[in-house]
Amino acid sequence: MTVQADLPEDLARAVACVDRELRMRLAAYPRWVAQKKLTQKKADDELEAMRLVRRLLVNGAAASIAIAAAERAGVMAFGAGWSSPTLGDAKRCSQDLERALPPSP
Q: Closest Cα partner for 50 from 13, 25, 29?
A: 25
Considering the domain boundaries, does residue 38 fall inside one?
A: yes
Considering the domain boundaries, does residue 105 fall inside one?
A: no
Encode pLDDT of 48-93 as tens digits. Answer: 999 999 988 888 877 777 667 666 666 554 444 445 555 566 667 6
Considering the domain boundaries, does residue 65 fall inside one?
A: yes
* Reported pTM: 0.63
> Containing domain of residue 70, as a range?
3-100
Say what the alpha-carbon torsion angle 21, 45, 34, 31 is, to the nearest 10 degrees: -10
Q: Tell me which DSSP letter residue 104 carries.
A: P
The predicted structure's pLDDT at residue 13: 87
Considering the domain boundaries, does residue 82 fall inside one?
A: yes
Tell me the CA distances in angstroms from 12 to 2, 35, 61, 74, one per residue in order. Answer: 15, 34, 10, 27
- Split into its structural domains, the chain has a count of 1
